[in-house]
Copies of this chain bind each other. A is one copy, B any other.
Amino acid sequence: MTLVVAGRFLLIFVAARLLAELLVRLQLPTILGELLAGVLIGVSGLHLVVPPESGVAVAPWLVQLFSGLGAVSPEQVLQLSAESYPFLQAVASIGLYALLFLTGLESELDELIAVGVQASSVALAGVVLPFALGSLGLIGFFHVELIPAVFAGASMTATSIGITANVFGELGMLRSREGQIVLGAAVLDDILGIVILAVVVALASGDGLQWAPILQLLLAAAAFVVAAIGLSRTVTPSFDALVDQLRAPGEMVVASFVVLCLCCFAATAIGLEAALGAFAAGLILSNSRHTEAIQETVKPLVSLFATIFFVLIGTAMDLSVLNPVDPANRSGLVVAAFLLVVAIAGKLVTGWSFLSDQPTNRLVVGLGMMPRGEVGLIFLGLGSAAGLLTPSLEAGILLMVIGTTFLAPLLLRLSYSWASAGLPSIDPALQPASTTDVD
């Protein structure tokens, strides 16, 4: 068992790191590298790590290698591979919850309030437009069924705070007006997106779309988030006082994990996704005096286990459904192209969705809202796991996530270097993007 598990961890981490390091050097988000690593070693690639339910066989040379090294028969290696897959998934889900917790933790609720009106307008537009255009378009033009269409629409609502914050930081624009609006809107988008996710997944496991349960779940999810924000103001000081009293080592990470488990427990108890609970736990502790210490202890968990989550998403993707040579794939390709266009356009126009009495680079705001990154992937991962998506819709969402995550940093740098001459909201002392290369 251990040989196969250790071998798989090695494959996953080495592939993910090689590609992440490559993409960092290309100034692209590392998450794309982890995803591509999964595609490379998975169902659409070398068949080194494949989900048992895919029916794809593990590459024979790898089976032979494990069989030879472990002194077990090839059949046993195949069985161990299949049996250990739920273990990988369980570890990946710890990474997912830790990542959502960290996302909530890094939400600057106070800064959000400072740019509240513009950010809310951008966020709302950035959720409603892709969701409505995506879902209705899939149903109207492509006759996709209701639940998968709604889910695909929902997967386009999120904005990756991490990727946007990285690029803005690199360009020195984090504290600019555009940067503040985008980050504020991204936080709101996360909240709205995860509420939608919690509702859609809960509905999908029920009896289809009916208004009463939708309303009930939406209210429950909204109340959950509002309660979390309220608790972050009221209960967090008690949490801090309690942590200060703890003396057994590792108190910070365990106390945070207890809050995380409590919130996941509460979320599932009222019929919502545990993912919402994990995010809410982060929101609650985002107001703690110990936020930075908590981040430091949670980050290693995210680095290890969220990597596995993203790689596993990649391994499960069957990209052959997008092979343009096969005529049967044409409709799937059109759907994928449609999703990508809606995902780009639906966020780009948010730059023009607000009134402003100050000069603001609206293109930068729209581009900043574009990358779906890890949050889009969480939607994809949970939707796949719940069996809500067809292979071609899965591949389409994957392309949409990759496309927006890949294009946003490139276009942001480009638009910045065009605009850096004149716009007053950008600090003129800063150099154009090309010279801020970390090299």
Contact = CB atoms under 8 A, between A and B. Distances in A.
Interface of A: 2-3, 6-7, 9-10, 13-14, 17, 20-21, 23-25, 30, 33, 69-71, 86-87, 90-91, 94, 246-251, 253-255, 257-258, 261-262, 264-265, 268-269, 271, 274, 277, 296-304, 307, 438
- Chain A interface main SS type: helix
Contacts of A20: 248
A9 B253 CA distance: 14
29 contacts: A2-B274, A3-B265, A6-B274, A7-B265, A9-B257, A9-B261, A13-B257, A17-B254, A17-B258, A20-B248, A21-B246, A21-B247, A24-B248, A71-B271, A86-B87, A87-B87, A87-B90, A250-B300, A250-B303, A250-B304, A250-B307, A253-B300, A254-B304, A254-B307, A257-B304, A297-B303, A300-B300, A300-B301, A301-B304
Contacts of A17: 246, 248, 251, 254-255, 258
B248 A304 contact: no
A179 to B, nearest CB: 20
A250 B90 contact: no
A261 B302 contact: no
A374 to B, nearest CB: 13
Contacts of A30: 248-249
A247 B24 CA distance: 7
A207 B364 CA distance: 70
A91 B10 CA distance: 17
A246 B18 CA distance: 10
How many identical chains are in the complex? 2
A257 B391 CA distance: 33
Contacts of A304: 250, 253-254, 257, 301
Contacts of A261: 6-7, 9-10, 13
Contacts of A265: 3, 6-7, 10, 69
Contacts of A307: 250, 254
Contacts of A9: 257, 261
Nearest to A271: B71
A84 to B, nearest CB: 9
Contact of A300 (B21, B274, B298): B298
Given A247-B24, A301-B300, A254 B6 contact: no
Closest 10 CB pairs of A and B: A250-B303, A20-B248, A3-B268, A297-B300, A6-B265, A69-B269, A253-B300, A2-B274, A6-B264, A30-B248
Contact of A258 (B14, B255, B257, B438): B14
B71 A438 contact: no
A126 to B, nearest CB: 26
A389 to B, nearest CB: 20
Contacts of A71: 271
Contacts of A302: 250
Contact of A2 (B264, B298, B303, B438): B264
A436 to B, nearest CB: 14
A231 to B, nearest CB: 17
Given A90-B90, A246-B21, A254-B17, A262 B10 contact: yes
Contacts of A246: 17, 21
Contacts of A264: 2, 6
A75 to B, nearest CB: 18
Contact of A268 (B2, B90, B300): B2
Contacts of A268: 2-3, 6, 70
Given A6-B265, A91-B90, A254 B303 contact: yes
